Amino acid sequence: MIYFEEVSKMYPDESLALDGVTFSVEPNEFISVVGHSGAGKTTLLKMIVAEEHPTSGSVLVSSEEVHKLRGEAINRLRRRVGVVFQDFRLLPHKTVYENVAFAMEVAGRTEKEICSDVPHALDLVGITRKTWSFPCELSGGEQQRVAIARAIVNQPEIVIADEPTGNLDPENTYEIVQILKRINSLDTTVIIATHNTGIVEALKNRVVVLDSGKVVRDTSNPSLLV
């Protein structure tokens, strides 16, 4: 489903964020990318939706070479991938409902679909109570949930979540992980990036370990990590 081939990324300030990364993700897999802060996790995820371009190497998503796509083809790819950004990136002038609905509008869904799917997605992440609030009126954990709702509302083939539990308490972390698992069980490929080894162990799924832009481990047995 997703292939990274010898992907390297050098930012303009000469910092090497990714260094010859090669790995692949199968359909319906749940994979965690872990590593220290600055290891290149966010950079890696950005490659999948063409937010960043590799300096060398190539990224394929369902056998399309991401960085050769132009114009509308990029938009179509982005609608098939739901992204939960590390900094949420909710639209500040839109309510929770509108933020989630926006992703559906962009995909050209009808009002009827929007009316039935948005509440469903909000319910799935447990934020129905805040439907009509603006992002600035929400706590970090609540914004996190809205970001997840927006990422999943179009039933994408792939969901990417960057630090989905970044600054949450253990209880919320657990809930969010359950939500992601549920999404994965509905035939969605899920990729998360995190430095919380605790979740990784709890998930018991495949883990790719990044260090200074290199893949240093790729294992399906996270308990061996420590």
Partner 1 sequence: MLFTKLKRVIRSGFLNFWRNAFLSTTSILVMVITLSFIGSIIFLSAILAASLDGVSRQVDLSVTFIPEAPSSEVLALKEDLEARPDVSSVKYTSREEALEGFRDRHASDRIILQTIDELGRNPLGANLTIQAYDPESYQDIAAFLEPEHALGADENIIYRINFRDNELAIERLTSLIGAVERFGLALTVALAFVSVLITFNTVRLIIYTARDEIAVMRLVGASTRYIRGPFVISGILYGLIAALITLALFYPMTFWLGEVTEHFFIGINVFTYYLENFVQIFLITVLSGIFIGGISSYMAVKRYLKI
Ligand X SMILES: Nc1ncnc2c1ncn2[C@@H]1O[C@H](COP(=O)(O)OP(=O)(O)OP(=O)(O)O)[C@@H](O)[C@H]1O
37 sits near ligand X (criterion: CB under 6 A): yes
What does DSSP say about strands 2-10 and 56-61: parallel, antiparallel, or unpaired?
antiparallel
79 sits near partner 1 (criterion: CB under 8 A): yes
9 sits near partner 1 (criterion: CB under 8 A): no
Contact criterion met (CB below 8 Å) for 210 and 226? no
Least distance in angstroms from the C-beta of 79 to ligand X: 24
Contact criterion met (CB below 8 Å) for 225 and 200? yes
32 sits near ligand X (criterion: CB under 6 A): no
What does DSSP say about strands 81-84 and 158-162: parallel, antiparallel, or unpaired?
parallel
- 82-141 positions binding ligand X, by CB under 6 A: 86
Stretch that binds partner 1, among 10-18, 34-42, 103-111, 202-210 (CB under 8 A): 103-111
67 sits near partner 1 (criterion: CB under 8 A): no
Q: Which two tokens stand for residue 41?
A: 């996790």
**Count of beta carbons in the 10 Å neighbourhood of residue 197:** 15
Q: Which residues pair with 21 in a beta bridge?
A: 7
The candidate with the shortest Cα–Cα distance to 123, out of 204, 182, 168, is: 182
Contact criterion met (CB below 8 Å) for 189 and 28? yes
The number of angstroms, rounded, from the C-alpha of 109 to the middle of its chain's C-alpha atoms is 22
Length of the chain, in residues:
226
137 sits near partner 1 (criterion: CB under 8 A): no
14 sits near ligand X (criterion: CB under 6 A): no
Least distance in angstroms from the C-beta of 114 to Mg ion: 31
Residue 11 contact among Mg ion, partner 1, ligand X, none, beta carbon within 5 to 8 Å by kind:
ligand X
- Judged by beta carbon, residue 18 or residue 118, the one nearer ligand X is 18
Residue 130 contact among partner 1, ligand X, Mg ion, none, beta carbon within 5 to 8 Å by kind:
none
Residue at token pair 């990714």:
18
- 183-222 positions binding partner 1, by CB under 8 A: none
Residue at token pair 């308990």:
223
Residues in contact with partner 1 by CB under 8 A are 49, 51, 71-72, 74-79, 83, 85, 89-93, 102-103, 105-108, 110-111, 150
Residues in contact with ligand X by CB under 6 A are 11, 13, 15, 17, 35, 37-43, 86, 195
